[in-house]
Chains A and B, each alone.
Chain A
């Protein structure tokens, strides 16, 4: 692959920055982040299965400041991947390919992910105390 003598197609740095480029890159990045975050889901289930002390230990870790910051990041990644994933499914069905629609739906994914994250964390913080 790397030893090819043929000209390569222009890479990212050649293009003007556009929102639909960012949504695409961030979709991959959040996908990778969420795959890593699946460890927390597995850990939670294993600790819950292992008994009360084990579960309280897990709650202590995810309720700590670092744990909460990580959960905040993962929650945004999840909502972004969800919103933009729905956008991709609609596009896969053949809709929304006109450039103005494409740009608008990009911004919708971003806005949707922020709104959902704010709503969820407003609920978490008003429901009181650390998770």
Chain B
């Protein structure tokens, strides 16, 4: 904002607040939560259906297009939601700045690795004849 900007500084602060990132984190956490209500119930039902499935049955089930799609959606949403949730916990309870940052970055690294590994596994299952 330049000195000649006629707007009140409050104008630029409003909607962002003291965190400087607005409600993005809060809202994304809620959207992923809503998605996980549906995807989570679907996931539990799918696992229960495959309770005593042997390798071939389980493989065929995951390879089905809708199952593969929803499984990838579930895993991505789950890790996204987990990162947002763990971030709040770390920010609330870890008061040494460098430990906080290291933990936050480590959580993101692990979550991305987990998400990518899951997606690759589902794709490998779905695309192998």
Contacts and interface: CB of A to CB of B under 8 A. Distances in A.
Given A28-B89, A45-B122, A92 B30 contact: yes
A10 interface: no
Interface centre among A39, A42, A51, A78 (most CB of B within 10 A): A42
Contact of B79 (A38, A82, A120): A38
A120 B125 contact: no
Contacts of A88: 33
Contacts of A94: none
A32 B48 contact: no
A69 interface: no
A2 B113 CA distance: 34
Contact of B30 (A46, A89, A123): A89
Interface in B63-106: 71, 75, 78-79, 82, 85-86, 89, 95-96
A41 B48 contact: no
Contacts of B37: 82, 85-86, 89
Interface residues on A, range: 20 to 34
Contacts of A131: 51-52
B78 A38 contact: yes
A82 B114 contact: no
Contact of B86 (A35, A39, A86, A128): A35
Interface residues of B, number: 34
Given A31-B89, A78-B44, A49 B51 contact: no
A105 B103 CA distance: 33
Contacts of A48: 55, 58-59, 62, 121, 125
Interface in B95-129: 95-96, 114, 117-118, 120-122, 124-125
Contacts of B124: 49
Interface of B: 30, 33-34, 36-37, 40-41, 44, 48, 51-52, 55-56, 58-59, 62, 71, 75, 78-79, 82, 85-86, 89, 95-96, 114, 117-118, 120-122, 124-125
